[in-house]
Amino acid sequence: MRAVNLADAGFLYLEKRQTPMHVGGLSLFTFPQGVNRHRFLGELLEVLRTQEEYRRPFGEFVTSGRAGPLGPLYWEHDTHLDIDYHVRHSALPQPGRYRELFMLVSRLHSSLLDRSRPLWEMHLIEGLQGNQFALYNKTHHAAVDGVSAMHMTNAMYSSKKSARSEHSPLSRATYERYKQSKLKQQAVHVDLKSKEMRTVMEAMRQQFDTTTNLMSAFRRFGGAFFGRSGNLSVPWHQIPHTSINTRVSGSRRFVAQSFAFERVRGVCKAMDGTINDIVLAMCSGALRRYLASQKERPTHSLKAMAPVSLRDDDDLDSSNAVGFITADLATNVFDPEQRIRKIQASMAAGKALLQSMTHAEATLFMQLTQIPVLLTSVLGLAGKFPAFSTVISNVPGPREQLYWNGAALEGIYPASVVFDGFAMNITLVSYKDQLDFGIVACRRSVPQVQRMIDYLEESLQELEEVAGIRTVPGKRRRERTGAPAVKIAGEAGAAASPKTKTITKTKTKAKATARAKTAAPNSTRTKGTAGVKPKHAPPT
């Protein structure tokens, strides 16, 4: 047995029926041309069910040892791993639209992982329209974070269409091969000073610097809480109570969508910001619209927990190495240009705080500041005293086309964690020339979360107008606060997808429904916008 470290154990202690603490992902694939689909899926299942040595902790389960449930937790090797339990084959009901796919993923993402077994599952899903199939996987957050999950994805797939794998994607052999190729790509830097023996005085000076930097960081952190640190945002400070900051049930809703990376990068260049700034601004505008549709418009701005990776470039093995920046989303600012400037200032202040410390100091600082967040969740107080409004995470992914035994990977849509006080989670992955958004929300606390997809598109269009990229005759349209005119994934009667949505003309309700037309998939492409050109449009 080996001990579960404190950061990973936190996710295990936080878990209960209402708050499953696993992260997942939905991958969409196009079948290779000319293959027998049933035979091809059967071959993939054989690969997934290959019995071999798994990398840690995928061949281990969690136990509390002799100390009982209140004692420390350990990873213990599972000598009787039942691979058929972990790798499952599912089929969508007819007509096999993305709506049915999202409903299945929502249901799978709601259930707890069995702690008496290794904490992961994979579901190969067939019956999807448009010559496609899907793979949904979920792994406990104690075993992976967003970056390590992306390393798993890269290890599983190949940039070569002809590549074939005979090993399980979770096997030690697969991961070691990926790890070696990754390390070879990284430049080797030798710090000659680190080889010198430090004197006692040098060690004392380093300790003094660490203490000084941490004290300075905590002073700025405390000053921000009392409104004395300019643009720096911190947890709990003026967090408004909304429907996305309540206690959650155990049921989940999942929706997804792709957006063209060039559109976001165009706004980024015009506004002199980063990709993260524009993504946060997109989410800010979407959340404004969503809350208005629920008859909510809080006076104070929503604040997002924006996770940042604290792992070294050559660290491929850590389960969780994550800190966070508190981002002011400026949802109380009507003007979109002023809104994005305030978001930029907030992110810059958060980054400056982290950059004022060394890597080790920043890691320690994040661990200490996360303790109150964990305590409020453990004590059941997060629903009454939320530290943030939501979680918005941007995970860097592969920039090249990937394949799985010849099947083209079309999109990677993350499905993350929600818990008391954080009833909605927005996570995105950059893949190829697109940004793949996955939104998870509590089914009871956050109704009609599928509207967020349409609101994200409207928000991006608004930013393009402000940046001068998208010209619209006349005045800029007012923010819509009611139900979207566009039917999107998950709504009754919609055949939408992460790359598809149904545009409805607005005459009468009956005529609008009768005349619904489906736009091309792959991003939210509408007239006048630059979406990703589709290659395979699913039938509707």
CB 500 within 8 A of CB 438: no
One domain, residues 131 and 243: no
Tell me the pLDDT band of 316, cut-offs 50, 70 and 90: very low
One domain, residues 119 and 223: no
Is residue 38 part of the annotated active site? The answer reads no
Supply the pLDDT for residue 82: 93
- Tell which wins on pLDDT, 539 or 129: 129
Mean pLDDT, the chain, whole residue set = 79
Supply the pLDDT for residue 180: 65
One domain, residues 274 and 421: yes
One domain, residues 129 and 263: no
Which CATH number covers residue 371? 3.30.559.30
**C-alpha to C-alpha distance for 155 and 169, rounded to whole angstroms:** 7
- Any domain includes 193: no
Q: At 335, is the secondary structure helix, strand, or coil? A: coil
Neighbouring C-beta atoms of residue 286, cutoff 10 Å:
24
pLDDT tens digits, 386-444: 888 999 999 889 999 999 999 999 999 999 999 888 899 999 999 999 999 999 999 99
Residue 155: pLDDT over 90:
no
- Any domain includes 323: yes
Residue 178: pLDDT over 80:
no
- Any domain includes 173: no
Q: Which of 135, 160, 185 is the last residue of a domain?
A: 160
Tell me the pLDDT band of 361, cut-offs 50, 70 and 90: confident
- Tell which wins on pLDDT, 366 or 314: 366
One domain, residues 223 and 129: no
Supply the pLDDT for residue 52: 76
One domain, residues 360 and 444: yes
- Provide the CA 65 distance to its chain's centre, in angstroms: 33
Tell me the pLDDT band of 345, cut-offs 50, 70 and 90: very high
One domain, residues 42 and 120: yes
CA nearest neighbour of 216 among 323, 326, 357, 350: 357
- Any domain includes 249: yes
- Any domain includes 502: no
Q: At 207, is the secondary structure helix, strand, or coil? A: helix
Q: How many domains does the chain have?
A: 2
Residue 284: pLDDT over 60:
yes
Which CATH number covers residue 30? 3.30.559.10
- Tell which wins on pLDDT, 496 or 288: 288
> What is the widest separation between alpha-carbon atoms in the chain?
82
Neighbouring C-beta atoms of residue 201, cutoff 10 Å:
8
- Any domain includes 191: no
One domain, residues 114 and 260: no
Supply the pLDDT for residue 116: 93
Count Cβ neighbours within 10 Å for each residue of 125-158 and write b for 16 or more, e otherwise: bbbbbbebbbbbbbbbbbbbbbbbbbbbbbbbbb
One domain, residues 397 and 279: yes
**C-alpha to C-alpha distance for 158 and 17, rounded to whole angstroms:** 37
Count Cβ neighbours within 10 Å for each residue of 457-490 and write b for 16 or more, e otherwise: bbbbbbbbbbbebbeeeeeeeeeeeeebebbbbb
Q: Which of 140, 160, 180 is the last residue of a domain?
A: 160
**C-alpha to C-alpha distance for 256 and 453, rounded to whole angstroms:** 7
CA nearest neighbour of 302 among 413, 443, 424: 424
Supply the pLDDT for residue 209: 52
Supply the pLDDT for residue 499: 52
- Any domain includes 499: no
Its domain, for residue 381, covers 216-484
Cut 0.75: pTM above it: yes
Which residue is catalytic, options 109, 140, 141, 151?
A: 141
pLDDT tens digits, 431-485: 999 999 999 999 999 999 999 999 999 999 999 999 998 755 444 444 555 544 3
One domain, residues 392 and 287: yes
Neighbouring C-beta atoms of residue 348, cutoff 10 Å:
16
pLDDT tens digits, 180-220: 655 555 444 434 344 444 454 454 445 445 566 566 665 66
**C-alpha to C-alpha distance for 154 and 173, rounded to whole angstroms:** 14
pLDDT tens digits, 34-73: 999 999 999 999 999 987 788 778 889 999 877 666 678 9
Residue 76: pLDDT over 80:
yes
Tell me the pLDDT band of 174, cut-offs 50, 70 and 90: confident
One domain, residues 371 and 458: yes
- Any domain includes 190: no
Q: Which of 115, 131, 160 is the last residue of a domain?
A: 160
One domain, residues 102 and 7: yes
